[in-house]
Structure 1
Amino acid sequence: MASNPTATQLTAAPAKRTGLVRCIAIVLLALIVLAGIVVLIIWLVVKPKRPVYTIEDGSVHDFNVNNNHLNSTFGFVIRAHNPNGRASIYYDSIEVSVAYDDQNVAFSTLVPFHQPTRNVTRLDAKILAQNVAISSSIAKDLKLEKTSGEIELAVRVKAKIRFRVGAWKSNHRTLRVVCDPVMLHFSSSKSFQRTYCDIDL
Protein backbone atom coordinates (compact mmCIF):
# COMPACT_ATOMS: atom_id res chain seq x y z
CA MET A 1 0.00 0.00 0.00
CA ALA A 2 1.45 3.39 -1.17
CA SER A 3 2.03 5.91 1.52
CA ASN A 4 0.59 9.43 1.25
CA PRO A 5 3.15 12.24 0.61
CA THR A 6 4.01 14.23 3.67
CA ALA A 7 3.62 18.05 3.88
CA THR A 8 7.39 18.40 3.56
CA GLN A 9 7.42 16.47 0.28
CA LEU A 10 4.53 18.55 -1.11
CA THR A 11 6.35 21.85 -0.50
CA ALA A 12 9.75 20.66 -1.80
CA ALA A 13 8.92 21.03 -5.53
CA PRO A 14 7.60 24.65 -5.33
CA ALA A 15 10.58 25.60 -3.20
CA LYS A 16 12.98 24.23 -5.86
CA ARG A 17 11.19 26.17 -8.61
CA THR A 18 11.31 29.37 -6.56
CA GLY A 19 15.02 28.91 -5.98
CA LEU A 20 15.66 28.34 -9.70
CA VAL A 21 13.73 31.50 -10.67
CA ARG A 22 15.63 33.50 -8.07
CA CYS A 23 18.96 32.17 -9.38
CA ILE A 24 18.07 33.08 -12.99
CA ALA A 25 16.98 36.58 -11.91
CA ILE A 26 20.27 37.13 -10.05
CA VAL A 27 22.31 35.99 -13.07
CA LEU A 28 20.36 38.28 -15.44
CA LEU A 29 20.75 41.24 -13.06
CA ALA A 30 24.48 40.59 -12.80
CA LEU A 31 24.80 40.51 -16.60
CA ILE A 32 22.90 43.81 -16.94
CA VAL A 33 25.08 45.47 -14.31
CA LEU A 34 28.23 44.09 -15.98
CA ALA A 35 27.12 45.40 -19.39
CA GLY A 36 26.42 48.80 -17.86
CA ILE A 37 29.86 48.90 -16.24
CA VAL A 38 31.51 47.99 -19.58
CA VAL A 39 29.64 50.79 -21.38
CA LEU A 40 30.54 53.26 -18.61
CA ILE A 41 34.23 52.30 -18.79
CA ILE A 42 34.24 52.72 -22.59
CA TRP A 43 32.54 56.12 -22.24
CA LEU A 44 35.00 57.31 -19.58
CA VAL A 45 38.04 56.11 -21.53
CA VAL A 46 36.90 57.63 -24.82
CA LYS A 47 35.32 60.79 -23.32
CA PRO A 48 33.54 61.90 -26.52
CA LYS A 49 33.79 65.63 -27.11
CA ARG A 50 31.02 67.80 -28.46
CA PRO A 51 31.11 68.62 -32.17
CA VAL A 52 32.04 72.20 -33.06
CA TYR A 53 29.75 74.13 -35.40
CA THR A 54 30.16 77.38 -37.32
CA ILE A 55 28.34 79.03 -40.22
CA GLU A 56 30.99 79.66 -42.88
CA ASP A 57 28.84 81.33 -45.53
CA GLY A 58 25.30 82.52 -46.01
CA SER A 59 23.11 84.05 -48.69
CA VAL A 60 19.52 85.09 -49.31
CA HIS A 61 17.76 85.02 -52.68
CA ASP A 62 14.29 85.74 -54.10
CA PHE A 63 13.31 87.52 -50.89
CA ASN A 64 9.74 88.78 -51.01
CA VAL A 65 7.20 89.82 -48.36
CA ASN A 66 3.66 90.19 -49.61
CA ASN A 67 0.32 90.17 -47.76
CA ASN A 68 1.97 88.99 -44.54
CA HIS A 69 3.58 86.01 -46.29
CA LEU A 70 7.28 85.37 -46.84
CA ASN A 71 8.95 83.71 -49.81
CA SER A 72 12.71 83.32 -49.92
CA THR A 73 15.63 80.94 -50.37
CA PHE A 74 18.29 80.90 -47.66
CA GLY A 75 21.62 79.25 -48.30
CA PHE A 76 24.18 78.32 -45.65
CA VAL A 77 27.49 76.48 -45.51
CA ILE A 78 27.51 74.82 -42.10
CA ARG A 79 30.89 73.58 -40.86
CA ALA A 80 30.71 70.53 -38.56
CA HIS A 81 33.94 69.55 -36.83
CA ASN A 82 34.36 66.23 -35.00
CA PRO A 83 37.34 66.83 -32.65
CA ASN A 84 37.35 63.27 -31.27
CA GLY A 85 40.38 61.10 -31.93
CA ARG A 86 38.62 57.79 -31.21
CA ALA A 87 34.90 58.38 -31.66
CA SER A 88 33.24 58.83 -35.04
CA ILE A 89 29.71 60.24 -35.26
CA TYR A 90 26.62 58.92 -37.04
CA TYR A 91 24.14 61.63 -37.98
CA ASP A 92 20.93 59.62 -38.45
CA SER A 93 18.63 62.61 -38.96
CA ILE A 94 19.32 66.33 -39.42
CA GLU A 95 16.83 69.19 -39.37
CA VAL A 96 17.76 72.79 -40.12
CA SER A 97 15.49 75.77 -39.50
CA VAL A 98 15.78 79.53 -39.93
CA ALA A 99 14.12 81.85 -37.43
CA TYR A 100 13.45 85.57 -37.45
CA ASP A 101 12.47 87.21 -34.17
CA ASP A 102 11.90 83.72 -32.66
CA GLN A 103 9.49 82.70 -35.43
CA ASN A 104 10.53 79.83 -37.70
CA VAL A 105 10.28 81.04 -41.28
CA ALA A 106 12.07 78.22 -43.16
CA PHE A 107 12.78 74.53 -42.60
CA SER A 108 14.66 71.74 -44.34
CA THR A 109 16.21 68.32 -43.73
CA LEU A 110 19.72 67.23 -44.69
CA VAL A 111 21.00 63.84 -45.84
CA PRO A 112 22.22 61.64 -42.94
CA PHE A 113 25.96 60.90 -42.92
CA HIS A 114 28.80 59.30 -40.96
CA GLN A 115 31.58 61.60 -39.78
CA PRO A 116 35.01 60.01 -39.15
CA THR A 117 37.30 60.97 -36.30
CA ARG A 118 39.03 64.38 -36.42
CA ASN A 119 37.01 65.28 -39.49
CA VAL A 120 35.56 68.53 -40.84
CA THR A 121 32.39 68.21 -42.93
CA ARG A 122 30.76 71.15 -44.68
CA LEU A 123 27.00 70.90 -45.08
CA ASP A 124 25.42 72.84 -47.92
CA ALA A 125 21.94 73.75 -46.67
CA LYS A 126 19.35 75.29 -48.97
CA ILE A 127 16.35 76.26 -46.87
CA LEU A 128 13.17 77.38 -48.58
CA ALA A 129 10.48 79.67 -47.18
CA GLN A 130 7.38 79.06 -49.29
CA ASN A 131 4.43 81.34 -48.64
CA VAL A 132 5.09 81.30 -44.88
CA ALA A 133 2.45 83.18 -42.90
CA ILE A 134 3.92 85.87 -40.65
CA SER A 135 2.47 88.55 -38.40
CA SER A 136 2.02 92.09 -39.70
CA SER A 137 4.71 93.39 -37.31
CA ILE A 138 7.25 90.82 -38.54
CA ALA A 139 6.30 91.57 -42.16
CA LYS A 140 6.98 95.25 -41.50
CA ASP A 141 10.32 94.49 -39.83
CA LEU A 142 11.41 92.21 -42.68
CA LYS A 143 10.68 94.92 -45.23
CA LEU A 144 12.77 97.35 -43.19
CA GLU A 145 15.59 94.77 -43.00
CA LYS A 146 15.58 94.43 -46.78
CA THR A 147 15.70 98.21 -47.16
CA SER A 148 18.71 98.34 -44.81
CA GLY A 149 20.53 95.78 -46.95
CA GLU A 150 20.99 93.06 -44.34
CA ILE A 151 18.92 90.72 -42.22
CA GLU A 152 19.63 89.17 -38.82
CA LEU A 153 18.53 85.54 -38.44
CA ALA A 154 19.02 82.50 -36.22
CA VAL A 155 19.99 79.14 -37.70
CA ARG A 156 19.11 76.06 -35.68
CA VAL A 157 20.18 72.47 -36.23
CA LYS A 158 18.58 69.47 -34.52
CA ALA A 159 20.13 66.06 -35.12
CA LYS A 160 19.87 62.50 -33.81
CA ILE A 161 23.45 61.27 -33.41
CA ARG A 162 25.35 58.22 -32.18
CA PHE A 163 29.01 57.93 -31.23
CA ARG A 164 30.96 54.91 -32.46
CA VAL A 165 34.19 53.51 -31.03
CA GLY A 166 35.33 50.35 -32.79
CA ALA A 167 32.33 48.02 -32.91
CA TRP A 168 30.55 49.80 -30.04
CA LYS A 169 27.85 52.39 -30.73
CA SER A 170 26.18 54.63 -28.19
CA ASN A 171 22.44 55.13 -27.91
CA HIS A 172 20.87 58.00 -29.83
CA ARG A 173 21.49 61.46 -28.41
CA THR A 174 19.82 64.71 -29.50
CA LEU A 175 22.25 67.36 -30.71
CA ARG A 176 20.94 70.94 -30.74
CA VAL A 177 22.91 73.71 -32.41
CA VAL A 178 21.97 77.39 -32.25
CA CYS A 179 23.77 79.95 -34.42
CA ASP A 180 22.61 83.44 -33.51
CA PRO A 181 22.87 86.09 -34.80
CA VAL A 182 23.62 85.24 -38.42
CA MET A 183 23.88 88.35 -40.58
CA LEU A 184 22.94 87.95 -44.26
CA HIS A 185 23.54 90.65 -46.84
CA PHE A 186 21.17 91.22 -49.73
CA SER A 187 24.09 92.55 -51.76
CA SER A 188 26.64 89.94 -52.90
CA SER A 189 29.36 92.58 -52.76
CA LYS A 190 29.48 92.38 -48.96
CA SER A 191 31.38 89.50 -47.41
CA PHE A 192 29.84 87.09 -44.92
CA GLN A 193 31.16 87.06 -41.37
CA ARG A 194 31.65 83.63 -39.81
CA THR A 195 29.19 82.83 -37.01
CA TYR A 196 30.07 80.58 -34.06
CA CYS A 197 27.32 78.34 -32.70
CA ASP A 198 26.26 77.12 -29.27
CA ILE A 199 26.01 73.34 -28.77
CA ASP A 200 23.67 71.42 -26.48
CA LEU A 201 24.16 67.66 -26.27
Structure 2
Amino acid sequence: MASTTTSGAPHKTVIGYPAQSSQVAAGYPAAGTAYPYAAPPPPSYSQAYRPVVPPTGSISPSFLRRMIVAGAAMFVIIGLLFFIAWIVFRPRLPEFRVESASVSQLNMTRSELTATWNLTLFVRNRNTKLNIYYDRVQALVIYGDGSQLGEIPLPPFYQAKKNETWVQFAVGVVDEYVGEGVVTKIAGERAGGSVGFGVTVFAWVKFTTGSWWRTRYSLLRVYCDRVKFGLTPNTGSGSMSGQPRACEVEL
Protein backbone atom coordinates (compact mmCIF):
# COMPACT_ATOMS: atom_id res chain seq x y z
CA MET A 1 0.00 0.00 0.00
CA ALA A 2 1.39 3.46 -0.93
CA SER A 3 0.56 6.95 0.33
CA THR A 4 1.40 10.19 -1.53
CA THR A 5 1.68 13.73 -0.08
CA THR A 6 1.28 16.90 -2.19
CA SER A 7 2.43 19.65 0.18
CA GLY A 8 5.20 20.85 -2.13
CA ALA A 9 7.90 18.92 -0.37
CA PRO A 10 9.90 16.39 -2.31
CA HIS A 11 7.88 13.32 -2.96
CA LYS A 12 8.36 10.59 -0.45
CA THR A 13 6.76 7.32 -0.74
CA VAL A 14 5.96 5.43 2.48
CA ILE A 15 5.44 1.78 2.06
CA GLY A 16 3.59 -0.04 4.85
CA TYR A 17 3.93 -3.69 5.74
CA PRO A 18 1.58 -5.81 7.78
CA ALA A 19 2.71 -6.28 11.35
CA GLN A 20 4.34 -9.56 12.19
CA SER A 21 3.08 -11.75 14.95
CA SER A 22 6.27 -11.19 16.89
CA GLN A 23 5.76 -7.44 16.84
CA VAL A 24 2.66 -7.24 19.04
CA ALA A 25 2.59 -4.35 21.49
CA ALA A 26 3.19 -5.28 25.08
CA GLY A 27 0.12 -5.64 27.24
CA TYR A 28 -2.24 -6.76 24.49
CA PRO A 29 -3.16 -10.33 23.60
CA ALA A 30 -2.11 -11.72 20.33
CA ALA A 31 -4.66 -11.97 17.60
CA GLY A 32 -6.69 -15.14 17.63
CA THR A 33 -5.96 -15.96 21.31
CA ALA A 34 -8.45 -16.20 24.16
CA TYR A 35 -8.86 -13.46 26.76
CA PRO A 36 -6.15 -14.20 29.33
CA TYR A 37 -8.18 -13.15 32.41
CA ALA A 38 -10.89 -15.28 33.98
CA ALA A 39 -14.36 -13.89 33.62
CA PRO A 40 -16.06 -12.97 36.91
CA PRO A 41 -18.60 -15.60 38.03
CA PRO A 42 -22.26 -14.74 37.74
CA PRO A 43 -23.74 -13.42 40.99
CA SER A 44 -25.31 -16.12 43.15
CA TYR A 45 -28.94 -15.91 44.26
CA SER A 46 -27.99 -15.54 47.89
CA GLN A 47 -25.79 -12.57 47.10
CA ALA A 48 -28.13 -11.03 44.59
CA TYR A 49 -31.23 -11.29 46.84
CA ARG A 50 -31.53 -11.67 50.58
CA PRO A 51 -35.03 -11.82 52.04
CA VAL A 52 -35.69 -9.31 54.76
CA VAL A 53 -36.46 -11.08 58.05
CA PRO A 54 -38.64 -9.00 60.35
CA PRO A 55 -36.98 -8.45 63.74
CA THR A 56 -38.30 -10.57 66.59
CA GLY A 57 -40.10 -8.33 69.03
CA SER A 58 -39.97 -8.68 72.85
CA ILE A 59 -42.96 -9.78 74.95
CA SER A 60 -45.48 -7.00 75.04
CA PRO A 61 -46.24 -5.31 78.39
CA SER A 62 -49.92 -6.18 78.06
CA PHE A 63 -49.08 -9.90 77.81
CA LEU A 64 -46.91 -9.68 80.92
CA ARG A 65 -49.68 -7.93 82.80
CA ARG A 66 -52.15 -10.65 81.84
CA MET A 67 -49.74 -13.36 83.00
CA ILE A 68 -49.16 -11.61 86.34
CA VAL A 69 -52.88 -11.12 86.90
CA ALA A 70 -53.60 -14.78 86.03
CA GLY A 71 -50.88 -16.02 88.41
CA ALA A 72 -52.10 -13.78 91.23
CA ALA A 73 -55.69 -14.92 90.67
CA MET A 74 -54.67 -18.58 90.79
CA PHE A 75 -52.69 -18.01 93.99
CA VAL A 76 -55.66 -16.28 95.62
CA ILE A 77 -58.06 -19.05 94.56
CA ILE A 78 -55.80 -21.80 95.93
CA GLY A 79 -55.33 -19.91 99.19
CA LEU A 80 -59.07 -19.33 99.48
CA LEU A 81 -59.83 -23.01 98.90
CA PHE A 82 -57.28 -24.02 101.53
CA PHE A 83 -58.72 -21.50 103.99
CA ILE A 84 -62.26 -22.77 103.40
CA ALA A 85 -61.12 -26.37 103.90
CA TRP A 86 -59.34 -25.33 107.11
CA ILE A 87 -62.52 -23.69 108.40
CA VAL A 88 -64.66 -26.68 107.43
CA PHE A 89 -62.41 -29.34 108.95
CA ARG A 90 -61.03 -27.22 111.82
CA PRO A 91 -57.91 -29.23 112.75
CA ARG A 92 -57.60 -29.66 116.50
CA LEU A 93 -54.40 -30.44 118.34
CA PRO A 94 -54.17 -33.93 119.86
CA GLU A 95 -54.40 -34.50 123.58
CA PHE A 96 -51.33 -35.78 125.46
CA ARG A 97 -50.99 -36.83 129.06
CA VAL A 98 -48.58 -38.88 131.16
CA GLU A 99 -50.57 -41.98 132.04
CA SER A 100 -47.92 -43.72 134.13
CA ALA A 101 -44.23 -43.28 134.90
CA SER A 102 -41.52 -44.81 137.05
CA VAL A 103 -37.81 -44.33 137.67
CA SER A 104 -35.24 -46.91 138.73
CA GLN A 105 -31.53 -47.14 139.50
CA LEU A 106 -31.36 -43.42 140.23
CA ASN A 107 -27.79 -42.77 141.26
CA MET A 108 -25.58 -39.70 141.19
CA THR A 109 -21.96 -38.77 141.54
CA ARG A 110 -20.58 -35.25 141.80
CA SER A 111 -21.62 -34.27 138.26
CA GLU A 112 -22.96 -37.44 136.61
CA LEU A 113 -26.32 -39.19 136.66
CA THR A 114 -27.48 -42.77 136.14
CA ALA A 115 -31.20 -43.58 135.87
CA THR A 116 -33.90 -45.30 133.83
CA TRP A 117 -37.35 -43.79 133.28
CA ASN A 118 -40.27 -45.91 132.07
CA LEU A 119 -43.15 -43.84 130.74
CA THR A 120 -46.55 -44.33 129.15
CA LEU A 121 -48.16 -41.46 127.25
CA PHE A 122 -51.82 -41.33 126.37
CA VAL A 123 -52.49 -39.68 122.98
CA ARG A 124 -55.97 -38.92 121.66
CA ASN A 125 -56.93 -37.53 118.27
CA ARG A 126 -59.75 -35.11 119.06
CA ASN A 127 -60.66 -34.52 115.40
CA THR A 128 -63.88 -36.00 114.05
CA LYS A 129 -62.94 -35.53 110.36
CA LEU A 130 -59.15 -35.61 110.24
CA ASN A 131 -56.46 -38.25 110.68
CA ILE A 132 -53.00 -37.47 112.07
CA TYR A 133 -49.60 -38.76 110.99
CA TYR A 134 -46.73 -38.54 113.50
CA ASP A 135 -43.21 -38.71 112.07
CA ARG A 136 -39.67 -38.21 113.45
CA VAL A 137 -40.86 -38.50 117.03
CA GLN A 138 -38.35 -37.70 119.79
CA ALA A 139 -38.89 -38.05 123.56
CA LEU A 140 -36.74 -36.31 126.18
CA VAL A 141 -36.49 -36.35 129.97
CA ILE A 142 -35.95 -32.86 131.37
CA TYR A 143 -35.08 -31.51 134.78
CA GLY A 144 -35.72 -28.04 136.14
CA ASP A 145 -35.72 -25.21 133.62
CA GLY A 146 -34.70 -27.35 130.67
CA SER A 147 -31.64 -29.40 131.56
CA GLN A 148 -31.81 -32.43 129.28
CA LEU A 149 -31.05 -35.71 131.05
CA GLY A 150 -31.74 -38.24 128.29
CA GLU A 151 -33.57 -38.76 125.01
CA ILE A 152 -34.78 -41.53 122.72
CA PRO A 153 -36.31 -41.65 119.21
CA LEU A 154 -39.78 -43.17 118.97
CA PRO A 155 -41.29 -44.98 115.98
CA PRO A 156 -43.72 -43.01 113.81
CA PHE A 157 -47.40 -43.75 114.24
CA TYR A 158 -50.78 -42.92 112.76
CA GLN A 159 -54.07 -41.97 114.39
CA ALA A 160 -57.42 -42.15 112.67
CA LYS A 161 -60.11 -39.69 113.70
CA LYS A 162 -61.12 -39.98 117.39
CA ASN A 163 -58.43 -42.63 117.90
CA GLU A 164 -56.73 -43.20 121.29
CA THR A 165 -53.16 -44.51 121.49
CA TRP A 166 -50.84 -45.42 124.36
CA VAL A 167 -47.14 -44.86 123.66
CA GLN A 168 -44.71 -46.70 125.94
CA PHE A 169 -40.97 -46.09 126.02
CA ALA A 170 -37.94 -46.08 128.33
CA VAL A 171 -35.15 -43.53 128.57
CA GLY A 172 -31.93 -44.64 130.21
CA VAL A 173 -28.64 -42.90 130.96
CA VAL A 174 -25.46 -44.23 132.52
CA ASP A 175 -22.91 -41.86 134.02
CA GLU A 176 -24.38 -39.01 131.98
CA TYR A 177 -22.70 -35.68 132.65
CA VAL A 178 -25.32 -33.19 133.82
CA GLY A 179 -23.26 -30.77 135.88
CA GLU A 180 -22.78 -30.24 139.59
CA GLY A 181 -25.66 -27.79 139.88
CA VAL A 182 -28.23 -30.25 138.49
CA VAL A 183 -26.93 -33.09 140.68
CA THR A 184 -27.13 -30.89 143.78
CA LYS A 185 -30.75 -29.92 143.08
CA ILE A 186 -31.86 -33.51 142.35
CA ALA A 187 -30.15 -34.71 145.53
CA GLY A 188 -31.94 -32.01 147.52
CA GLU A 189 -35.34 -33.08 146.19
CA ARG A 190 -34.54 -36.74 146.69
CA ALA A 191 -33.81 -36.09 150.35
CA GLY A 192 -37.39 -34.83 150.64
CA GLY A 193 -38.83 -38.11 149.27
CA SER A 194 -39.71 -37.14 145.68
CA VAL A 195 -38.15 -35.69 142.54
CA GLY A 196 -39.88 -33.85 139.72
CA PHE A 197 -38.86 -34.68 136.14
CA GLY A 198 -40.32 -33.33 132.94
CA VAL A 199 -41.12 -35.11 129.69
CA THR A 200 -40.94 -33.37 126.31
CA VAL A 201 -41.98 -34.83 122.97
CA PHE A 202 -41.24 -33.41 119.52
CA ALA A 203 -42.92 -34.77 116.39
CA TRP A 204 -43.58 -33.69 112.81
CA VAL A 205 -47.30 -34.08 112.18
CA LYS A 206 -49.76 -33.55 109.34
CA PHE A 207 -53.54 -33.65 109.25
CA THR A 208 -55.35 -35.35 106.38
CA THR A 209 -58.85 -36.35 105.33
CA GLY A 210 -57.43 -39.42 103.63
CA SER A 211 -56.85 -38.66 99.97
CA TRP A 212 -57.80 -35.23 98.66
CA TRP A 213 -56.87 -32.77 101.44
CA ARG A 214 -53.92 -32.63 103.79
CA THR A 215 -51.74 -30.10 105.55
CA ARG A 216 -48.00 -29.80 105.39
CA TYR A 217 -45.85 -31.36 108.09
CA SER A 218 -45.50 -29.07 111.09
CA LEU A 219 -43.50 -29.40 114.30
CA LEU A 220 -45.64 -30.50 117.25
CA ARG A 221 -44.24 -29.73 120.71
CA VAL A 222 -45.51 -31.47 123.85
CA TYR A 223 -44.46 -30.35 127.34
CA CYS A 224 -45.26 -32.47 130.41
CA ASP A 225 -43.69 -30.46 133.22
CA ARG A 226 -42.83 -31.48 136.76
CA VAL A 227 -44.05 -35.04 136.88
CA LYS A 228 -43.51 -36.02 140.52
CA PHE A 229 -41.80 -39.33 141.28
CA GLY A 230 -42.12 -40.62 144.85
CA LEU A 231 -38.88 -42.42 145.75
CA THR A 232 -38.38 -45.34 148.08
CA PRO A 233 -35.56 -44.54 150.54
CA ASN A 234 -32.14 -46.00 149.72
CA THR A 235 -33.32 -47.74 146.53
CA GLY A 236 -33.25 -45.05 143.87
CA SER A 237 -36.60 -46.28 142.54
CA GLY A 238 -40.09 -44.83 142.55
CA SER A 239 -43.23 -44.15 140.55
CA MET A 240 -45.36 -41.20 139.53
CA SER A 241 -47.35 -39.64 142.33
CA GLY A 242 -51.00 -38.70 141.93
CA GLN A 243 -53.26 -38.80 138.89
CA PRO A 244 -52.24 -38.81 135.20
CA ARG A 245 -50.75 -35.46 134.31
CA ALA A 246 -51.98 -33.45 131.32
CA CYS A 247 -49.42 -32.00 128.93
CA GLU A 248 -49.29 -28.71 127.05
CA VAL A 249 -49.42 -29.15 123.27
CA GLU A 250 -48.24 -26.53 120.77
CA LEU A 251 -47.98 -26.46 116.99
Q: Give the TM-score category using the shorter length.
A: 0.7 to 0.9
Q: Alpha-carbon deviations, 1:58-79, whole Å to 9, x = none? A: 0001211123101111111011
> Is the aligned partner of 1:53 residue 2:96?
yes
Decide whether the 8 Å contact of 1:156 with 1:178 is kept in 2. Answer: yes
More contact order relative to length (CA 8 Å, sep ≥ 6):
1
Structure 1 portions without partners, runs of 5+: none
Decide whether the 8 Å contact of 2:103 with 2:238 is kept in 1. Answer: no
Which residue of structure 2 lines up, in the alignment, with residue 63 of structure 1?
106
Decide whether the 8 Å contact of 2:150 with 2:171 is kept in 1. Answer: yes
Decide whether the 8 Å contact of 1:60 with 1:185 is kept in 2. Answer: no
- Distance change (3 Å), C-alpha of 1:186 and 1:93: same
Could you tell me how far apart the structure 2 residues matched to 1:32 and 1:161 are?
Answer: 25
Which residue of structure 2 lines up, in the alignment, with residue 131 of structure 1?
175
Could you tell me how far apart the structure 2 residues matched to 1:190 and 1:164 are?
Answer: 37
- Distance change (3 Å), C-alpha of 1:33 and 1:191: closer
- Equivalent position to 1:115, from 127, 139, 159: 159
CA RMSD of aligned residues (A): 2.5
**Residue correspondences, number:** 196
> Is the aligned partner of 1:83 residue 2:126?
yes
Could you tell me how far apart the structure 2 residues matched to 1:62 and 1:160 are?
Answer: 32
Structure richer in helix, relative to its length: 1
Could you tell me how far apart the structure 1 residues matched to 2:59 and 2:182 are?
Answer: 74
Amino acid at match of 1:173: S
- Distance change (3 Å), C-alpha of 1:92 and 1:189: closer
Matches within 5 A, 1:124-163: 124-163=168-207
- Equivalent position to 2:218, from 153, 173, 176: 173
1:150 deviates by 2.1
Structure richer in strand, relative to its length: 1
Which residue of structure 2 lines up, in the alignment, with residue 74 of structure 1?
117
Amino acid at match of 1:36: G
Decide whether the 8 Å contact of 2:102 with 2:238 is kept in 1. Answer: no
Q: Alpha-carbon deviations, 1:37-60, whole Å to 9, x = none? A: 111111010001111111000000
Q: TM-score, normalised by structure 2?
A: 0.70
Q: Alpha-carbon deviations, 1:62-107, whole Å to 9, x = none? A: 2111231011111110111111000111111211111111211111
Structure 2 portions without partners, runs of 5+: 1-48
SS in 2 for 1:169: coil
